[in-house]
Amino acid sequence: SQMANSKFEYVKNFETQEKLLPNCWTVVRLDGRAFHRFSDEHRFAKPNDDRALMLMNHCAEALFKEFPGEIVFAIGMSDEYSFVLKRTSNLWSRRKTKIETCFASFFAASFVLHWSKFFGPETPLLYAPMFDCRATCYPSERNIRDYISWRQADCHINNLYNTCFWALIQQGGLSAAAAEEALRGTLSGAKNEMLFTRFGINYNNLSPMHRRGSIYIWRQVEMTETAKSGEPIKRVRKVPTLIHDDVISDVWWTQNHAILEE
């Protein structure tokens, strides 16, 4: 019977195994599948549902902690999250598929596991979510910073649009089609203006999480722990820290350059 098995074992040779190019930063980006429908069915608040965003953050933090020596930065918004692996990471020998599928499955499992902490008993999870996931290599500091800027700029653009769109509908009484029409082709200056003059909203005062997304980095924190002897001792530990900074800015990266040096 071991005989029988070895006769079939040749099929394992049909597997392929892509490796990520060494010495590149790797971004692993997850995105919820068909979350347009998912957010409708679970009655997400519009334009931003803080329960949903905080659940996403919670899952990202869990993944961050699961690979403390590997993930150095994460940024998320809407139904997506991007994780940056350090340049020298050797996680699963840099096997692309292994990284993508383990991250996707862990994130999705966490999403379900922690759902009720954020949505409570009144909003049960109706079905299992799906997240696609892709790992991409970035060879230079400029490239990885541009990736991060791309996601944060996208967050801003979408949030500004969505804020206007729902203000026009919820406060302005427009239909969805009319709101879309009103916004077609407008530049961001005009959108800021519209929010302020028509709805009294100062865009820059809105929640940083909505405008800039959510970012995790490691921060050294002094903690008081209890030794075996019962005495308190101070230890410095690195902990995942949630921030909503402008990470497009050069200044931020000058101050936090160590992130890219690992």
Ligand X SMILES: O=P(O)(O)OP(=O)(O)OP(=O)(O)O
Ligand Y SMILES: Nc1nc2c(ncn2[C@H]2C[C@H](O)[C@@H](COP(=O)(O)OP(=O)(O)OP(=O)(O)O)O2)c(=O)[nH]1
Footprint of its own copies (CB under 8 A): 1-2, 4-5, 7-16, 18-19, 21-24, 30, 33, 62, 97-98, 100-102, 104-113, 125, 127-134, 136-140, 143, 146-147, 149-150, 153-154, 156-157, 160, 187-188, 248
Cα separation, 248 vs 202, in Å, equals: 21
120 contact, one of its own copies, ligand X, ligand Y, none, CB 5-8 Å limit per kind: none
> What is the DSSP code (8-state) at residue 167?
I
Cα separation, 213 vs 73, in Å, equals: 13
Regarding 100 and contact with Mg ion (CB under 5 A), the answer is no
Q: Write the burial class of residue 229 (CB in 10 Å: 0-12 exposed, 13-18 middle, 19+ buried).
A: exposed
Provide the minimum distance between the beta carbon of 229 and its own copies in the complex, in angstroms, as a whole number. 30
Cα separation, 132 vs 134, in Å, equals: 7
Provide the minimum distance between the beta carbon of 71 and ligand Y in the complex, in angstroms, as a whole number. 19
Nearest residue (CB) to Mg ion, 61 versus 80: 80
223 contact, one of Mg ion, ligand X, its own copies, none, CB 5-8 Å limit per kind: none
Question: Where in 23-52 is the site for ligand X (CB under 6 A)?
Answer: 31
Nearest residue (CB) to its own copies, 16 versus 205: 16
* DSSP per position, 178-231: HHHHHHTT--HHHHHHHHHHHH---GGGS-HHHHH-EEEEEEEEEEEEE-TTS-
80, 39 contact by CB (below 8 A): no
Which residues of this protein are in contact with ligand X, per CB under 6 A?
31, 132
